[in-house]
Homo-oligomer: A and B are copies of this chain.
Amino acid sequence: MPAGSIRARVRAEMIAEIKTVARRHLATDGANLSLRAVARDMGMVSSAIYRYFASRDELLTALIIDAYNAVGDAVESTEARVDRADFRGRLLAIGHAVRSWALANPAEYALIYGSPVPGYAAPQDTTVAALRTATVLVRVFVDGSDSGALRPSGDQLDDGVHRDLKAAADSIAPGLDPEVLARGTIAWIHLFGAVSFELFGQLNNVIEAREAYFDYQMRRIADLVGV
């Protein structure tokens, strides 16, 4: 089946439609995604899905990769519009991009950043897509560091932590000071902590001004990490 044939195009459209329908189901059923329910919604018999995905897990994996890529796209394009020298602006843009995407796609957010799906082990393929967003954030710290605006604060890091962060820096941003990266990971973790908190309902009946509250947090974290 040559790539450009009609059959290939129809096939690609079917795959896309299966994923779209599956995403709709994620929203109501969480990760207990049912192949039969997806097939039913598409007016097919359940076994027909197996022409496109070898198993339920394979479909889940595809959805996970798509989700990582979707946040990655959103973050990359939002961040790219900010002045390169405005490090704080870039960090805040990343934060708001993640949050906006998560609010628009809560089930997919939960799929990749929520509690792990019981009985599902993510294959290696997902990690490449997962790294995209992290890379954008780390680059802010690399650039800030290179420009001299961001300098190590003199925190003494535990030896083990230093080693871990050095290894991480070597693979994703060679030359980046582990201590600066440590600050970056704090921003990273707070960002996802804040979004998860809001999305998973922990702010219910407490904070109503959510966007402003999120912005407040991100600014304080930016203060903390020195950006």
Q: Would you give the shortest CB distance from A152 to chain B, in whole angstroms?
A: 13
| In the assembled complex, A118 has its CB within 8 A of some CB on chain B | yes
Category for how many chain A residues contact B:
35 or more
From the candidates B29, B30, B183, B186, name the one contacting A115 in the complex (CB within 8 A).
B30
* B200 and A116 contacting across the interface, CB-CB below 8 Å: yes
* A114 and B189 contacting across the interface, CB-CB below 8 Å: no
Q: Interface digits, A185-220 against B, CB 8 Å rule (1 contact, 0 not)?
A: 110011011101100111000111100110111001
Provide the residues of chain B in CB contact with A119, threshold 8 Å.
28-29
Provide the residues of chain B in CB contact with A196, threshold 8 Å.
193, 196
Chain A residues 43-58 with CB under 8 Å of chain B are none
* B158 and A209 contacting across the interface, CB-CB below 8 Å: yes
With A118-B28, A161-B212 as known contacts, state yes or no: A197 contacts B189, CB within 8 Å.
yes
| In the assembled complex, A94 has its CB within 8 A of some CB on chain B | no
* A206 and B115 contacting across the interface, CB-CB below 8 Å: no
Provide the residues of chain B in CB contact with A32, threshold 8 Å.
32, 118
User: Which A residues are within 8 Å of any B CB, using their own CB?
Assistant: 28-30, 32, 110, 113-119, 155, 157-161, 163-165, 168, 182-183, 185-186, 189-190, 192-194, 196-197, 200-202, 206-209, 212-213, 215-217, 220-221, 223-224
